Structure 1
Amino acid sequence: MGMEIGIAGILAITLIIQLLYYIIYLRACFYQPAVTSSGREPVSVIICSRNAGEYLEKNLPLFLTQDYPNYEVVVVNDCSADHTADLLVQLKPQYPHLKFTTIEQDEKFSHGKKLAVTVGIKAASYEWLLFTDADCVPASPQWISTMQRNFTPEHSIVLGYGGYMSSPGLLNRLIRVDSMMIGLQYLGLAIAGMPYMGVGRNLAYRKSLFFSNKGFAKHTHILSGDDDLFVNETANAQNTAVELSAESITRSIPKKTFGDWFLQKRRHLTTSVYYTTTSKFTAGGEMLSRVIFYCALVWSLVYHNQLRNYIIIAAGIRFIIQGITYIFGSKKLNEKGIWHLAFICDILLPFMYFCAFIYNFFTTKRRR
């Protein structure tokens, strides 16, 4: 009997934790910024590109023709061996606000994206920096305007949503569901005053913040993390804003195979271990409580005959609120036709992250 009561207590506690998280996510679903900038701050859009000439050819004009009066687009040609250099030279006469700089290949020195980002920031003319990737497309010509309306004196960071393009197939839908769930979490927590990460596909911050933080000095030894680690160490409730309008979204090309997606998850885990302790707790608390909830739920349904009806009702409340969150979340982030798959990812993703963690652990151990 004591064990049964204990399991029931665990189920109740994890259910409450889950509901608290979903309340936070629901805030993101209905979020509207309270204070917006009345000015039109000049903006430097920074795009780092390595052998992405094919994407730049299609997408760069979409960034160069934004409906915004005063901005520049800085492209960092990071050791590209394709036609990127020729393309940029060709586009320059047509778009005077296009700037580009090149990092030459050095056989004796290898580097990650952080060097390219740093070079782009140094080349930028303006205080406000707006980041995206070469394979990204803005949802509208108002992308800069909608992000810029959060450039108030109080704010130094603006978090946007970077989703993925839609294409046929189950994998594409799972990737988009995962992106939606992650977006609701980091944007919802930021709205609640607990920012912990951002995505480089749609992120803005002040140039002065970058240099006052000494750039990426605290984690230069990590190849990735130019976006989430920087936000993790500089963002707080006072200096961070969130933009969630449909016009502000960017979308990039998702992975084509499960193996590539799994590798992407592994890379994300390599940076998340460097988050602050508080961030690890707030970001990981939902998934941990979710796993414990499901384990306690299964155990209770099998062994708690007397309480089974109450357990089913409690679990039903959780799934109803979860469904409502995903329905409104998919509408807010313009992720059409995928919300129902969130119930599958709700169970699948914890196991996927666990496998990625184990894989990283033993890979690192073998290297040592």
Structure 2
Amino acid sequence: MTHFLGNLFFWFFVFIVLLQLFYYLFFFVRLAFYKEKEVLESQEYPVSVVVCARDEAGNLVKSLPGILLQKYQTTHEVVLVNDNSVDDTKYLLEEFQKTFKQLRVLPLTQEGKLIPGKKFPLSMGIRTAKYDVLLLSDADCMPASEYWIQKMQEGYKKGIDIVLGYGAYQKKKGFLNKLIRFETFHTALQYLSYALAGIPYMGVGRNLSYKRNIFMESKGFASINHIPGGDDDLFINKIATKTNTAIVIHKDAHTISEPKTTWTEWRKQKNRHYTTAKYYKPKFKFLLGLYSAGCFLVYPLALLSIIFYGWKAVLVLLVVRWLLLAFVWKKSMEKLNESDLWSYFLLFDFWNCLYYLLFLPSVFKKPAKSWK
């Protein structure tokens, strides 16, 4: 019986390792070796930056100047949707408008009926926007440079309707900050690599661009209005194709957000994010679920294989896996300006096993109705 269990656990472990090697060699290596094409001809489209805010005066006073002071010579505007704020957002925006003529404020004083979450204010902002190229961000996000608009709009080549960007979190002291930033990197490793493989499945609202035309043609969020979240990932999941999606990962094109500072706040945030995953297209649920299962099972199976089968073959497979993982993560972290995380790669690899166990229940939870 012990011999049977040993073989069962070991060959299951071999399958999981080979499965993960496939994901890294077929998907994730694409981001590791990705090189953005040099822009030979200057292109500058008129751009509408759209940001929604509800009671975000404290964040806007820090983030909005970075958006308004962009070095972008072509026509652009910043549409700020003030969604039923009861703090000082209104007065803060009035002061900004005195200096920045490109700032347009859309005040909302009523909630969208039967449309929970952020979709109603975002839809109103998009419909109000003057220009076809939309660049979306959140009220707590700051552009990483003065060239954010310039770099993001450079992703629009012929046939491209969607540009996926990277939304980083501010680097601070503490292990929680490193975990938050690693999880953000790991998520980006997946959605950016899938896009490069021709099967884009999501973007993040902290740094996302698409054309107003495709939003209107696809009837906006109509098919997902009943779901509180998903204004970024579910919408992209619906409209993105192999030919209409590009990525921009230049460090000047990143946005930077303020990270959560307590485990409770972060877990609440992640629980909210994962409630939309069950609405993805079946092929993406399968691919993402299979990868998550591999991350969760690899170390328990390694331990069981060592106990019931032997340690030598297990160690060889783990070393091969670690070497590939370390290489891909290092190269990809360099691309996304997260290189300081690489020295913890083994710890983060172990953490992935626990991470998927902690947040799996979120997939089956009912989404919260409020976006704030």
1: distance between equivalents of 2:233 and 2:64? Answer: 24
Question: TM-score, normalized by length of structure 2?
Answer: 0.91
Structure 1 gaps, min length 5: none
In structure 2, the CA distance between the partners of 1:284 and 1:341, relative to structure 1 (3 Å rule), is: farther
| Aligned twin of 1:195 | 200
Pairing of 1:1-368 with structure 2 (within 5 A): 1-23=3-25, 24-34=27-37, 38-69=42-73, 70-105=75-110, 111-305=116-310, 308-358=311-361, 361=364
In structure 2, the CA distance between the partners of 1:106 and 1:9, relative to structure 1 (3 Å rule), is: closer
1: distance between equivalents of 2:231 and 2:205? Answer: 8
- Deviation track 1:310-343 (CA, whole Å, cap 9, x = no partner) reads 3211110101111122222222111242223343
Say whether the 8 Å CA contact 2:206–2:255 is kept in structure 1: yes
SS in 2 for 1:273: helix
SS in 1 for 2:12: helix
The letter for the 2-side match of 1:122 is R
Say whether the 8 Å CA contact 1:156–1:206 is kept in structure 2: yes
1: distance between equivalents of 2:223 and 2:314? Answer: 47
1: distance between equivalents of 2:347 and 2:214? Answer: 40
Question: TM-score, normalized by length of structure 1?
Answer: 0.92
Say whether the 8 Å CA contact 2:272–2:362 is kept in structure 1: no
In structure 2, the CA distance between the partners of 1:361 and 1:245, relative to structure 1 (3 Å rule), is: closer
CA positional deviation for 1:46: 0.5
- Deviation track 1:43-89 (CA, whole Å, cap 9, x = no partner) reads 10111111111221122111111111221111000111122111222
Tell me how large the CA RMSD over aligned residues is: 2.2
1: distance between equivalents of 2:112 and 2:325? Answer: 51
SS in 2 for 1:93: helix
CA positional deviation for 1:295: 2.7
Say whether the 8 Å CA contact 2:116–2:225 is kept in structure 1: no
1: distance between equivalents of 2:113 and 2:77? Answer: 33
- Deviation track 1:267-311 (CA, whole Å, cap 9, x = no partner) reads 122101100111112222222122232232112111223xx3232
2: distance between equivalents of 1:178 and 1:54? Answer: 26
Say whether the 8 Å CA contact 2:237–2:280 is kept in structure 1: yes
Number of aligned residues: 362
1: distance between equivalents of 2:12 and 2:263? Answer: 34
CA positional deviation for 1:109: 7.7
Say whether the 8 Å CA contact 2:230–2:276 is kept in structure 1: yes
In structure 2, the CA distance between the partners of 1:107 and 1:38, relative to structure 1 (3 Å rule), is: closer
1: distance between equivalents of 2:160 and 2:366? Answer: 40
Deviates further, 19-28 or 142-151: 19-28
2: distance between equivalents of 1:130 and 1:313? Answer: 47
- Deviation track 1:180-211 (CA, whole Å, cap 9, x = no partner) reads 11111111111111211110000000111111
CA positional deviation for 1:34: 4.3
Say whether the 8 Å CA contact 2:5–2:308 is kept in structure 1: no
In structure 2, the CA distance between the partners of 1:228 and 1:107, relative to structure 1 (3 Å rule), is: closer
Say whether the 8 Å CA contact 1:156–1:209 is kept in structure 2: yes
CA positional deviation for 1:361: 4.5
- Deviation track 1:235-255 (CA, whole Å, cap 9, x = no partner) reads 111111011111111110111
In structure 2, the CA distance between the partners of 1:330 and 1:59, relative to structure 1 (3 Å rule), is: same
1: distance between equivalents of 2:363 and 2:7? Answer: 37
Deviates further, 271-280 or 65-74: 65-74
Say whether the 8 Å CA contact 1:132–1:202 is kept in structure 2: yes
Say whether the 8 Å CA contact 1:31–1:244 is kept in structure 2: no
* Identical pairs, percent: 36
Say whether the 8 Å CA contact 2:162–2:211 is kept in structure 1: yes
In structure 2, the CA distance between the partners of 1:363 and 1:210, relative to structure 1 (3 Å rule), is: closer
